[in-house]
Amino acid sequence: MVWPFALLLTVVLLFYSASTFRLTSIDINKGEAILTETNLLKSKRIKSYPVRDLQFTYKIGKPGLRHRVVNICRLYLKDKEVASIIPDHDGWTDDTVNDLAKGLASLGVAKKFIGYGSKDAEINGL
């Protein structure tokens, strides 16, 4: 009687993986940040935020127990996290995350202070 449970668990996990949205691109133009998320079924969800209300952090950290130490960029809107961009997740690389942080800093987006618990990462090329 174990196999029906295993089959049900497999179906639930497949459905969850296919329906979970992942951040695939961030476009910044005309004072707006446009975040595009897609799932495995190729459906898109687009969110738009005014750049003047955004804040960001660019910190050194480990996203998980078995991950390497990376530079993580997080976007906030009025003290609420709206996106977390981590290298090696969803197609993001170290260079693209650094380029995003550099672009945000050059646009004058405020850096958010979240405490002394983690060290700020260096933005290369700024």
Tell me what pLDDT residue 113 has: 85
* CA dist., res. 108 & res. 75, Å (int): 14
Tell me what pLDDT residue 46 has: 96
Domain positions in the chain: 3-111
- Taking residues 20-24, what's their average pLDDT? 90
Tell me what pLDDT residue 1 has: 65
pLDDT digits (tens, 9 = 90+) for 66-117: 889 999 999 999 889 999 999 998 889 999 999 999 999 998 898 988 877 7
Backbone CA torsion sign across 115, 119, 93, 65: negative
Q: What is the pTM assigned to this prediction?
A: 0.82
CB 54 within 8 A of CB 112: no
Q: What is the DSSP letter of 60?
A: E
The secondary structure element, H or E, covering residue 124 is none
